[in-house]
Amino acid sequence: MQYSRLLVPTMRNMPADAEVVSHQLLLRAGYIRRVTSGVYDYLPLGLRVLRKIEAIIREEMNRAGAQELLMPMVQPADLWEKSGRLHKYGPELCRFKDRHEHESCLGPTHEEVICDLVARELRSYKQLPMNLYQIQGKFRDEIRPRFGLMRGREFVMKDAYSFHVDDACLQREYDRMFATYQRIFTRLGLEFRAVEADNGSIGGASSHEFHVLADSGEDLIAHCSHCDYAANIEKAVAAVETVTGQAADKTVLATPNTTAAEDVADLLGVPLALVVKTMLYRQQGGDNDGQLVAVCVRGDDEVQEMKLARLLGTDAVELAADDDFASAGGVKGYIGPCGLSVAVYADQSLQGASGLVVGANRPDAHCTGVSLERDADIHQWADIRAVRDGDGCQRCHEGTMVLRRGIETGHVFALGRCYSEPMGVCFQDANGKRAVATMGCYGIGVSRLMAAIIEQRHDEHGIDWPSHLAPFQLSLITLGNKAPVMEASAKLYRALQDAGYDVLWDERRERPGVKFRDHELIGMPWQIVLSERSLERGEVEFSARRAARNPVAIDGIMSHLAVTLEG
């Protein structure tokens, strides 16, 4: 490709509203342009890289025995009615009516469509297991699209769905997909981590997320410094550490204008860990939608709301409004677990602890000498705290938990029969009996991956693509525009093409600095420079991005490339 013919609108100025580096560089280097909120054009360079990422994913999926198909983006609402998700999914699902007034939606995911297909075509257990995948555009009407390709509304996803006769077979496929994902992320040159993930309200055996480690990541993940335990913060569990104070009788103390746990600890001169925080939550969704619950954690801990929601069997929890406190029997700022009219859940780290401080449920007062077991009616003890950096590992009991930020780019999920059952994905088993298939699903955010790779691989000059992901294999940069250099360059360009190289020839009438900077910005891994100066010596210069340029005889460049680029 000749540079002057290529649409690469590089920008010298930083786009004002790009926050994260991948978004900035994708815009500046001319890879993407925004069409509307969370929706982007992939310009030629962007598409080239996207296709290379897809190719790796495709290769590894095929290698693992999965087969590619393509499902529609437009889906009929009745399929979603059938799975029970039409009403559950919420406004993220973009719905519309076609001209016949048929309810439709844009696919945010394809469990319904694939189940509909497989339900029709699956007859015998002999057809199983089966793993079908596609690489396709998805639409999710996110509340807040941001960070360019990191959280878009329209994005490219690889989604795979597997079907099995039983859960043992599903587990084998799950493990195979797990290994496949590890291969994919490794081939993409990423520093990543697979973590146990919350499997939410769906249930099922297991779920792992694959996170690309980056400070700009929206997720927090915890892993052990010693063993291989790693989990999303929404699920991570640490070793229980019970801190207990001196056993004493429950006593009410005046604590005027002291509501925050830290202030109470300071005022009373007790460790923060012994001051119990009592939080009032309202459930959202589930059988007890709207109901209030109280939750106790140590003063130095925080409630992990996803854990709480899962424990309660609700979709989500939100902190109660100010006027909810009276109905629960508490006072905002001084709420405590003793004598509340709502169910109280307490973190297991408080079980057996005595000498605690809790809110007295009346203004300007706390109670000391409290034991929750003795003095409060605890509905359930459970792990509802968020793991903190430095907590002990509950698996190996040797390491400590390390918290890092990650970009969720992959997710593998053992679904079980939660979709196949309502969608009627059945087959005849070996005994001639009708059985429901069990199912797994496996996603990779392809366009998000492109951003995630840049988050890890960039410098002040631009993108530093792994060479096999760069939009072109190498650059041929011509300096000067007199006939001899141009002719020699054109000849070399053709020779490179004939040898099968995907080369970007920069034949623009630009000054050297402009060219060098553009190629560095867009992340070209290798460059050949041909100038009047080098031509006189019968040489070109060859270098990796940002590295020193070395002279190579023009006659020898092909063999030099063959050695260097293959290695």
Partner RNA sequence: CGGGGCGUAGCGCAGCCUGGUAGCGCACCAGACUGGGGGUCUGGUGGUCGGAGGUUCGAAUCCUCUCGUCCCGACCA
Contact residues for RNA, defined by CB under 7 A? 9-17, 19, 34, 36-38, 143-147, 259-262, 277-281, 297, 299, 302-303, 305, 318-322, 325, 332-335, 359, 461, 479-481, 509-514, 516-518, 520-521, 529, 531, 533-534, 541, 549
Distance CA 71, CA 107 (A): 9
CB 309 within 8 A of CB 336: no
Q: Minimum distance between the CB of residue 96 and RNA, rounded to whole angstroms? A: 16
Q: Minimum distance between the CB of residue 439 and RNA, rounded to whole angstroms? A: 32
Q: Minimum distance between the CB of residue 511 and RNA, rounded to whole angstroms? A: 5
Q: Report CA-CA distances (Å) from 507 to 57, 72, 133, 419, 504.
A: 34, 42, 42, 56, 9
Six-digit token string for 451: 């951003």
Nearer to RNA, 146 or 183 (CB): 146
Distance CA 180, CA 157 (A): 16
Q: Minimum distance between the CB of residue 339 and RNA, rounded to whole angstroms? A: 15
Interaxial angle between packed helices 557-566 and 483-498, expressed in degrees from 0 to 180 and rounded to the nearest 10: 50
Distance CA 507, CA 509 (A): 7
Q: Minimum distance between the CB of residue 516 and RNA, rounded to whole angstroms? A: 3
Comparing CA positions, the residue from 368, 352, 354, 376 lying closest to residue 246 is 354
- Whether the CA torsion 171, 173, 176, 177 is positive or negative: it is negative
Q: Report CA-CA distances (Å) from 297 to 206, 344, 356, 387, 412.
A: 27, 11, 11, 12, 32
Q: Minimum distance between the CB of residue 349 and RNA, rounded to whole angstroms? A: 13
The vertex-555 CA angle with 554 and 558, nearest 5°, equals 90
Nearer to RNA, 183 or 332 (CB): 332
Nearer to RNA, 417 or 457 (CB): 457
Nearer to RNA, 16 or 483 (CB): 16
Nearer to RNA, 213 or 521 (CB): 521
Nearer to RNA, 388 or 517 (CB): 517
Nearer to RNA, 102 or 511 (CB): 511
Work out the number of other CB atoms within 10 angstroms of the CB of residue 563. Answer: 9
Strand 539-544 to strand 292-298: parallel, antiparallel, or no bridges (unpaired)? Answer: unpaired
Nearer to RNA, 74 or 143 (CB): 143
Nearer to RNA, 174 or 334 (CB): 334
Q: Minimum distance between the CB of residue 151 and RNA, rounded to whole angstroms? A: 9
Burial category of 168 from C-beta neighbours within 10 Å (exposed 0-12, middle 13-18, buried 19 and up): exposed
Peptide bond into 129 cis (omega under 30): yes
Q: Minimum distance between the CB of residue 33 and RNA, rounded to whole angstroms? A: 9
Distance CA 332, CA 279 (A): 9
- What residues are paired with 219 via a beta bridge? 406
The values of phi and psi at residue 91, to 5°, are: -70, -10
Q: Minimum distance between the CB of residue 335 and RNA, rounded to whole angstroms? A: 5
Q: How many residues does the structure list for the chain?
A: 567
Q: Minimum distance between the CB of residue 338 and RNA, rounded to whole angstroms? A: 13
Q: Minimum distance between the CB of residue 19 and RNA, rounded to whole angstroms? A: 4
Six-digit token string for 519: 């190629």
- C-alpha 18: how far from chain center: 19
Q: Minimum distance between the CB of residue 383 and RNA, rounded to whole angstroms? A: 15
The vertex-18 CA angle with 190 and 459, nearest 5°, equals 45
End-to-end Cα distance, the chain: 24
Nearer to RNA, 171 or 291 (CB): 291
Nearer to RNA, 318 or 502 (CB): 318
Strands (E) in 260-308, as ranges, are 276-284, 292-298
Nearer to RNA, 442 or 516 (CB): 516
